[in-house]
Structure 1
Amino acid sequence: MTKARKTSKTTAIPSEGLRIDIGISEKDRAAIVKELSKFLADSYTLYLMTHNFHWNVTGPLFNTLHVMFMDQYSEEWQALDEIAERIRALGHYAPGTYAQYASLSSIAEPKNVPDATEMVQLLVKGNEAVAKTARAALKRADEADDAPTADLLTRRLDVHEKNAWMLRSLLQ
């Protein structure tokens, strides 16, 4: 029986053949991956919260919120793969367990099922948290001249800022 190998959030892939030579140093790639791992954790936590709220929303805005939450979690789900694949392209393993996400995420999960208004408030805060995490990662990517990561993060920022605006509009 082989022992499972533990990997940290920024564990580099062992060199097996060709070294990665994309014009970004290993040190810079590791720093970018550290930030992308936090971004992936926040994104996954927000995805899970949004899906949970989709299942459990009640009240007069049920249909509106149920559909809106589904649109948002479906889009978020697709983005998770792109983020993880960018981490892999930079030569590191992507975090992929609940324990890793819990230790990396800046988003606190609710302890119970909130009412519809609180769900919206929590999702506004969650989208804003993801945007802040994206900005920190974007700064690191820009410093290393990592255009593909910067592009990914810029696109994600647009989505999360728009989601926060739309959700916030429901509270006014």
Structure 2
Amino acid sequence: MAQTASDLTPDAATEIAEALNQAVAETVVTTMLAQNYHWNVTGMSFGPLHELFQQIYEDHFVGQDDLAERIRAIGEIAEGKLAGHLDRSKVQEGDETASDKEMIRHLAEAQETIGATLAGLSEVAAKHGDIRTEDLAIERGRIHDKFAWMLRAHLR
């Protein structure tokens, strides 16, 4: 079991970094998605949605930094180009003219996508005994599950 980042084999660090970069990409795209919707949401639920979307993008900005810094801690390179994040991400950019319900649905799906990616990251980290990355993936996954629940609650 790897006790520290430097205990990881080069192959393990590369595999973990690949999974981390996937999580970063999806978090970056979702950060901008939430900010886009924060700026452009309209309708009767403007106030609470404007606030919720802000909570999401502020959380995700910190989250993407934590994930990227973990990549650096294990000695790998964090993707730093927006084009690279967009190419890699399973989350797609959103339409600023979408209805409030479409925005909510899209953001909920994005949270679930990131959650699934983080679950995969957790498995990769566990396979290599990287408990710190595994812990980070689990904690971030909990956050995305909560945001997905909060968003879906608006659709019922």
TM-score (norm 1): 0.86
Q: How far, CA to CA, are the matches of 1:21 and 1:91 in structure 2?
A: 8
Query: Which runs of 5 or more structure 1 residues have no equivalent in the other structure?
Result: 1-19
Q: Tell me if the contact between 2:5 and 2:130 (Cα under 8 Å) persists in the aligned partners.
A: no
Q: How far, CA to CA, are the matches of 2:5 and 2:148 in structure 1?
A: 38
* Residue 110 (structure 1) shift: 2.5
* Residue 80 (structure 1) shift: 1.2
1:70 maps onto 2:46 in alignment = no
Q: Which residue of 2 aligns with 1:121?
A: 105
Find the residue that maps to 2:92 and give its secondary structure. coil
1:39 maps onto 2:23 in alignment = yes
1:57 maps onto 2:41 in alignment = yes
Count of residues in Structure 1 that have an aligned counterpart in Structure 2: 153
* Residue 71 (structure 1) shift: 1.1
Q: Which residue of 2 aligns with 1:139?
A: 123
* Residue 104 (structure 1) shift: 1.0
* Residue 168 (structure 1) shift: 0.2
The equivalences for 1:161-172 within 5 A come to: 161-172=145-156
* Residue 146 (structure 1) shift: 0.3
Q: How far, CA to CA, are the matches of 1:130 and 1:60 in structure 2?
A: 29
Query: Which runs of 5 or more structure 2 residues have no equivalent in the other structure?
Result: none
Instruction: Give the alignment's Cα RMSD to 1 decimal.
Output: 1.3
Identical-pair percentage: 31
Find the residue that maps to 1:117 and give its secondary structure. helix
| Structure number having the greater helix percentage | 2
Match of residue 78, structure 2, among 94, 97, 105: 94
Cα deviation per residue 1:59-92 (whole Å; 9 max; x = unaligned)? 0000010011111111111111111100001111
* Residue 21 (structure 1) shift: 6.9
Q: How far, CA to CA, are the matches of 1:111 and 1:26 in structure 2?
A: 41
Higher Cα radius of gyration: 1
Q: Tell me if the contact between 2:31 and 2:61 (Cα under 8 Å) persists in the aligned partners.
A: yes
4+ residue segments displaced more than 6 Å: none
1:160 maps onto 2:141 in alignment = no
* Residue 113 (structure 1) shift: 2.3
* Residue 102 (structure 1) shift: 1.3
Cα deviation per residue 1:44-65 (whole Å; 9 max; x = unaligned)? 0111100110000000000010
TM-score (norm 2): 0.94
Find the residue that maps to 2:6 and give its secondary structure. coil
Q: How far, CA to CA, are the matches of 2:103 and 2:52 in structure 1?
A: 12
